[in-house]
Amino acid sequence: MDSESFERYLSDRYKKEIAWYDEKANCNRTLYHAFQWTLIILSAVTPILVVVGGQWQRWTAVVVSALVAIGTSALKTFQYHELWINYRTTCETLRKEIHYYQSRTSPYTNTADPEGLFVDRVEALISRENTLWLSTTKQEEKQGGAHK
Protein backbone atom coordinates (compact mmCIF):
# COMPACT_ATOMS: atom_id res chain seq x y z
CA MET A 1 0.00 0.00 0.00
CA ASP A 2 1.45 3.38 -0.94
CA SER A 3 1.72 6.19 1.59
CA GLU A 4 -0.94 8.36 -0.10
CA SER A 5 -3.51 5.55 0.04
CA PHE A 6 -2.57 4.84 3.64
CA GLU A 7 -2.96 8.49 4.66
CA ARG A 8 -6.34 8.57 2.92
CA TYR A 9 -7.36 5.41 4.78
CA LEU A 10 -6.29 6.96 8.08
CA SER A 11 -8.32 10.12 7.51
CA ASP A 12 -11.34 8.67 5.68
CA ARG A 13 -11.84 5.46 7.60
CA TYR A 14 -9.67 4.94 10.68
CA LYS A 15 -10.12 8.33 12.36
CA LYS A 16 -13.84 8.45 11.51
CA GLU A 17 -14.37 5.00 13.04
CA ILE A 18 -12.59 6.04 16.22
CA ALA A 19 -14.74 9.19 16.41
CA TRP A 20 -17.92 7.14 15.85
CA TYR A 21 -17.09 4.58 18.55
CA ASP A 22 -16.03 7.35 20.94
CA GLU A 23 -19.30 9.24 20.39
CA LYS A 24 -21.42 6.11 20.81
CA ALA A 25 -19.53 5.08 23.95
CA ASN A 26 -20.02 8.52 25.48
CA CYS A 27 -23.71 8.62 24.54
CA ASN A 28 -24.39 5.18 26.04
CA ARG A 29 -22.40 6.05 29.18
CA THR A 30 -24.48 9.20 29.63
CA LEU A 31 -27.75 7.34 29.13
CA TYR A 32 -26.68 4.56 31.48
CA HIS A 33 -25.70 6.98 34.23
CA ALA A 34 -28.86 9.04 33.78
CA PHE A 35 -31.05 5.94 34.06
CA GLN A 36 -29.09 4.60 37.04
CA TRP A 37 -29.23 7.84 39.01
CA THR A 38 -32.92 8.31 38.23
CA LEU A 39 -33.67 4.79 39.40
CA ILE A 40 -31.63 5.22 42.57
CA ILE A 41 -33.41 8.45 43.45
CA LEU A 42 -36.89 7.14 42.62
CA SER A 43 -36.23 3.93 44.58
CA ALA A 44 -35.15 5.95 47.61
CA VAL A 45 -38.18 8.26 47.41
CA THR A 46 -40.77 5.47 47.14
CA PRO A 47 -40.67 4.22 50.77
CA ILE A 48 -40.70 7.80 52.04
CA LEU A 49 -43.89 8.49 50.08
CA VAL A 50 -45.51 5.36 51.52
CA VAL A 51 -44.56 6.23 55.10
CA VAL A 52 -45.50 9.90 54.85
CA GLY A 53 -49.03 8.85 54.62
CA GLY A 54 -51.87 10.50 52.78
CA GLN A 55 -53.79 9.18 49.79
CA TRP A 56 -51.98 11.50 47.41
CA GLN A 57 -48.54 10.31 48.57
CA ARG A 58 -49.52 6.65 48.28
CA TRP A 59 -50.73 7.10 44.71
CA THR A 60 -47.54 8.98 43.94
CA ALA A 61 -45.57 6.05 45.41
CA VAL A 62 -47.45 3.68 43.09
CA VAL A 63 -46.61 5.83 40.07
CA VAL A 64 -42.96 6.17 41.14
CA SER A 65 -42.74 2.38 41.64
CA ALA A 66 -44.12 1.85 38.14
CA LEU A 67 -41.53 4.28 36.76
CA VAL A 68 -38.77 2.33 38.54
CA ALA A 69 -40.03 -0.90 36.96
CA ILE A 70 -40.19 0.71 33.51
CA GLY A 71 -36.73 2.27 33.90
CA THR A 72 -35.22 -1.02 35.05
CA SER A 73 -36.76 -2.82 32.08
CA ALA A 74 -35.49 -0.12 29.71
CA LEU A 75 -31.96 -0.53 31.08
CA LYS A 76 -32.13 -4.26 30.44
CA THR A 77 -33.72 -3.88 27.01
CA PHE A 78 -31.55 -1.12 25.58
CA GLN A 79 -28.32 -2.38 27.21
CA TYR A 80 -26.70 1.05 27.60
CA HIS A 81 -24.05 -0.33 29.95
CA GLU A 82 -23.08 -3.20 27.66
CA LEU A 83 -22.99 -0.96 24.59
CA TRP A 84 -20.93 1.63 26.43
CA ILE A 85 -18.34 -1.01 27.39
CA ASN A 86 -18.27 -2.61 23.92
CA TYR A 87 -17.95 0.70 22.08
CA ARG A 88 -15.31 2.00 24.48
CA THR A 89 -13.31 -1.23 24.20
CA THR A 90 -13.39 -1.11 20.40
CA CYS A 91 -12.48 2.60 20.37
CA GLU A 92 -9.51 2.14 22.68
CA THR A 93 -8.33 -0.96 20.82
CA LEU A 94 -8.43 0.99 17.55
CA ARG A 95 -6.52 3.88 19.14
CA LYS A 96 -3.88 1.50 20.44
CA GLU A 97 -3.32 -0.04 17.01
CA ILE A 98 -1.75 3.12 15.54
CA HIS A 99 0.85 3.08 18.31
CA TYR A 100 1.82 -0.49 17.47
CA TYR A 101 2.14 0.52 13.83
CA GLN A 102 4.16 3.68 14.50
CA SER A 103 6.57 1.98 16.90
CA ARG A 104 6.81 -1.10 14.66
CA THR A 105 6.22 -3.39 17.61
CA SER A 106 4.65 -6.80 17.28
CA PRO A 107 2.99 -7.68 14.90
CA TYR A 108 4.56 -4.93 12.74
CA THR A 109 8.16 -5.86 13.51
CA ASN A 110 8.99 -8.11 10.55
CA THR A 111 6.39 -7.36 7.92
CA ALA A 112 7.02 -6.23 4.37
CA ASP A 113 3.77 -4.21 4.25
CA PRO A 114 3.04 -2.62 7.64
CA GLU A 115 0.37 -0.34 6.14
CA GLY A 116 -1.49 -3.29 4.64
CA LEU A 117 -1.25 -5.16 7.94
CA PHE A 118 -2.55 -2.10 9.79
CA VAL A 119 -5.57 -1.89 7.49
CA ASP A 120 -6.24 -5.62 7.86
CA ARG A 121 -6.06 -5.45 11.66
CA VAL A 122 -8.26 -2.33 11.88
CA GLU A 123 -10.87 -3.82 9.58
CA ALA A 124 -10.81 -7.05 11.61
CA LEU A 125 -11.50 -5.07 14.79
CA ILE A 126 -14.39 -3.22 13.16
CA SER A 127 -15.73 -6.44 11.71
CA ARG A 128 -15.53 -8.16 15.10
CA GLU A 129 -17.59 -5.37 16.69
CA ASN A 130 -20.15 -5.56 13.88
CA THR A 131 -20.38 -9.34 14.24
CA LEU A 132 -20.79 -9.04 18.01
CA TRP A 133 -23.58 -6.48 17.54
CA LEU A 134 -25.32 -8.65 14.96
CA SER A 135 -25.15 -11.81 17.07
CA THR A 136 -26.44 -9.94 20.13
CA THR A 137 -29.31 -8.47 18.10
CA LYS A 138 -30.27 -11.86 16.67
CA GLN A 139 -30.13 -13.45 20.13
CA GLU A 140 -32.43 -10.74 21.49
CA GLU A 141 -34.86 -11.30 18.62
CA LYS A 142 -34.95 -15.04 19.36
CA GLN A 143 -35.56 -14.41 23.05
CA GLY A 144 -38.21 -11.79 22.26
CA GLY A 145 -39.89 -14.16 19.82
CA ALA A 146 -39.97 -16.95 22.39
CA HIS A 147 -41.82 -14.73 24.86
CA LYS A 148 -44.54 -13.67 22.42
**Rounded CA gap, 65 and 15, in Å?**
44
The whole-angstrom separation of Cα 121 and Cα 26 is 24
pLDDT below 50 — which residues of the chain?
146-148
What CA–CA distance (Å, rounded) separates 84 from 129?
Answer: 12
pLDDT at 37: 98
Integer-rounded Cα Rg, in Å, for the chain is: 23
Inside any domain, residue 88: yes
What would the 3-class secondary structure string for 74-87 be? HHHHHCHHHHHHHH
Is residue 144 domain-resident? no
Per the structure, the count of domains in the chain is 1
Q: Which domain holds residue 86?
A: 3-139
Does residue 147 belong to any structural domain of this protein? no
The reply to whether 118 falls in a domain is yes
Average pLDDT of the chain is: 91
Q: Is residue 145 one of the residues assigned to a domain?
A: no
Does 148 map to a domain? Answer: no
